[in-house]
Amino acid sequence: MEREDKIKHLSRLSRRLSLLRDSDFDIFKLREILYEEMLNEKKSENSYNFYVIKLQEVINGTFRKLDSSKKKNRKEELKDCIDDFKYYISRYNDHLNQDNSDSSNNGEPQE
């Protein structure tokens, strides 16, 4: 995927996440989105390692907590999971928008 296409994809992904609400269907949809995004990024020719690692952390951290939570705590945990996911989407978007084309950092963010 070209850089411009990836930026558009990330923007659409972020909007999709904003539409999710506290329902079983939306939690299922979030799981689907997370796994699909991680698999697509792993398969990508220009995979961003930092993003893949952080998606895995979201899946194993906040999503797993959300998936096993009780109904009364779910709304806040869904928000936390979506916020985490959006944060890493934003980081990836920032990475794509950087003028620095140095690939010696193997996809790691410049801090």
The pTM (predicted TM-score) of the whole model is 0.81
Q: What share of the chain is helix, strand, coil (3-state, %, to 5)?
A: 75, 0, 25
10-67 pLDDT per residue, tens: 999 999 999 998 888 999 999 999 999 999 999 988 889 999 999 999 999 999 999 8
Domain positions in the chain? 3-96
pLDDT at residue 101 greater than cutoff 70: no
Determine contact, residues 96/107, Cβ cutoff 8 Å: no
pLDDT, residue 72, reads: 79
Higher per-residue pLDDT: 85 or 99: 85
